[in-house]
């Protein structure tokens, strides 16, 4: 699938817009502006989850969903010397922090800072060489006192993000922080665009949903599932490419960037919807991979599946390298195939489908 210029422009702007968990508003605005021409109606809930609706009057409701938030840090403590200690907002990785530039979202605007780290010369003589931990990583914003930090508009509770931006690599990969999972928001928006531009009529209400607060507990999906009360939910998120070094396939499975969307098998994944997705992939010759999750998928699929007395839900994942780093990578070909798979699956859904196992 070749990406339209306007689509790639949107993807770049959307990925480069900071959307930390609980503060997704700026990214959500970019997403809503893009999706508005392709849907009949756009709604937002109290915590910032956005959804575009096609056929809002229809009784039978289908959700396609991704999450909008990215991992980040909170200012947790400011020392008398003007250094900043942090706590996680989502699954932020302390091991990649040292020497990273950060944006501190202060009350007077963005302030640049850096995660400091002692020089190798001062560490190498120490047999107990320090490793990055939450209690020893710190941010230096050039201030020499707590008062100076606060004069810059930085206080406890301010959000901290990485400024790393989108680029394409070797014409094969998209690379950026927060591909987990704003690439999902891009893919579901593209499904809406294709339905509109191909003039497809669907016999149900379609809710293209971009949820908040996934990284801290699937909370946005939990809330919006109760609001929409869908009959079916198809969720897209990222999963690990397990072919890079230091990943154990016996534990993490065997998924690879470039080999297609990953269809998950898990207790929360409804057999009927999953088999519809697999049949669609086979019929339309869309390559796909399989993966299993034991107790939970760890994605918004679980929140939808367990809502409203049980909503038939399925998960189509996108293989991704280096999750929760600033250089997350996905295959452009896989992105196109996920879009195509969701699009073609929607065209096969009928409100009269039998969804009970017995």
HEC sequence for the chain: CCCCHHHHHHHHHHHHCCCECCCCHHHHHHHHHHHHHHCCEEEECCCCCEEEEECCCCCCEEEEEEECCECEEEEEEECCCCEEEEEEECCCCHHHCCCCEEEEEECCEEEEEEEECCCHHHHCCCCCCCCCCCCCCEEECCCCCHHHHHHCCCCCCCEEECCCCCEEECCCEEEECCHHHHHHHHHHHHHHHHHHHCCCCCCCEEEEEEECCCCCCCHHHHHHHHHHCCCEEEEEEEEECCCCCCCCHHHHCCCCCCCCCEEEECCCCCHHHHHHHHHHHHHCCCCCEEEECCCCCCCHHHHHHCCCCCCCEEEEEEEEECCCCCCEEEEHHHHHHHHHHHHHHHCCCCCCCCCCCC
Residues 105, 2: Cα–Cα separation, whole Å: 36
The answer to whether the annotation marks 237 as part of a ligand binding site is yes
Widest CA span of the chain, in angstroms? 71
CA pair distance 51, 80, nearest whole angstrom: 45
Q: What does the block give as tokens for 43?
A: 């709604």
72, 160 Cβ separation under 8 angstroms: yes
The whole-number pLDDT of residue 122 equals 87
Tokens of 142: 């050039």
Q: Is 324 annotated as a binding residue?
A: yes
pTM of the model: 0.97
Contact 18, 24 (CB under 8 A): no
> Is 240 part of any known ligand binding site?
no
Residues whose CB is less than 8 angstroms from the CB of residue 46 and which lie 6 or more positions away in sequence, other chains included: none
* Distance of alpha carbon 28 from alpha carbon 69, whole angstroms: 9
Instruction: Return the axis-axis angle of helices 179-197 and 5-16, rounded to nearest 10°.
Output: 150
Q: What's residue 2's pLDDT?
A: 83
pLDDT tens, per residue, the chain with 358 residues: 689 999 999 999 999 999 999 999 999 999 999 999 999 999 999 999 999 999 999 999 999 999 999 999 999 999 999 999 999 999 999 999 999 999 999 999 999 999 999 999 888 766 788 899 999 999 999 999 999 999 999 999 999 999 999 999 999 999 999 999 999 999 999 999 999 999 999 999 999 999 999 999 999 999 999 999 999 999 999 999 999 999 999 999 999 999 999 999 999 999 999 999 999 999 999 999 999 999 999 999 999 999 999 999 999 999 999 999 999 999 999 999 999 999 999 999 999 999 999 9
pLDDT at residue number 94: 98
pLDDT value at residue 123 = 84
Kindly list the catalytic residues: 214
Give first-to-last CA distance, the chain, whole Å.
38
Residue 180 is labelled as binding a ligand: yes
Token couple for 273: 């919807």
């Amino acid at each position: 699938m070749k990406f339209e210029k306007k689509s790639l422009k949107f993807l770049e702007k959307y990925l480069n817009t900071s959307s930390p968990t609980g503060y997704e508003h700026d990214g959500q605005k970019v997403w809503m502006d893009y999706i508005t021409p392709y849907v009949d109606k756009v709604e937002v809930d109290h915590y910032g989850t956005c959804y575009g609706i096609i056929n809002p009057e229809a009784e039978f409701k289908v959700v396609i969903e991704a999450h909008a938030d990215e991992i980040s840090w909170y200012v947790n403590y400011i020392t008398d010397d003007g250094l900043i200690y942090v706590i996680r907002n989502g699954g932020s990785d302390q091991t990649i922090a040292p020497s990273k530039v950060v944006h501190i979202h202060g009350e007077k605007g963005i302030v640049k800072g850096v995660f400091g780290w002692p020089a190798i010369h001062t560490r190498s003589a120490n047999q107990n060489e320090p490793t990055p931990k939450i209690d020893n990583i710190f941010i230096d914003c050039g201030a020499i006192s707590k008062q100076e930090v606060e004069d810059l508009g930085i206080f406890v509770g301010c959000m901290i993000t990485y400024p790393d931006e989108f680029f394409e690599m070797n014409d094969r990969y998209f690379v950026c922080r927060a591909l987990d999972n704003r690439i999902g928001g891009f893919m579901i928006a593209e499904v809406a665009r294709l339905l509109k531009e191909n003039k497809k009529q669907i016999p149900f209400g379609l809710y293209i949903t971009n949820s908040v607060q996934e990284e801290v507990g699937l909370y946005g999906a939990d809330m919006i599932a109760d609001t929409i009360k869908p009959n079916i939910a198809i969720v897209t998120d990222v999963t690990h490419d397990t072919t890079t070094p230091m990943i154990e396939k016996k534990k993490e499975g065997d998924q690879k960037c470039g080999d297609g969307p990953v269809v998950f098998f898990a207790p929360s994944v409804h057999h009927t919807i999953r088999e519809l997705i697999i049949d669609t992939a086979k019929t339309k010759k869309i390559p796909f991979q399989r993966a299993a999750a034991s107790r939970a998928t760890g994605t918004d699929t679980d929140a939808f599946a367990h809502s409203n007395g049980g909503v038939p839900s399925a998960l189509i994942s996108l293989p991704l390298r280096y999750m929760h780093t600033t250089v997350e990578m996905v295959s452009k070909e896989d992105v196109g195939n996920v879009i195509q798979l969701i699009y073609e699956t929607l065209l096969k859904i009928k409100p009269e489908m039998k969804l009970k196992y017995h």
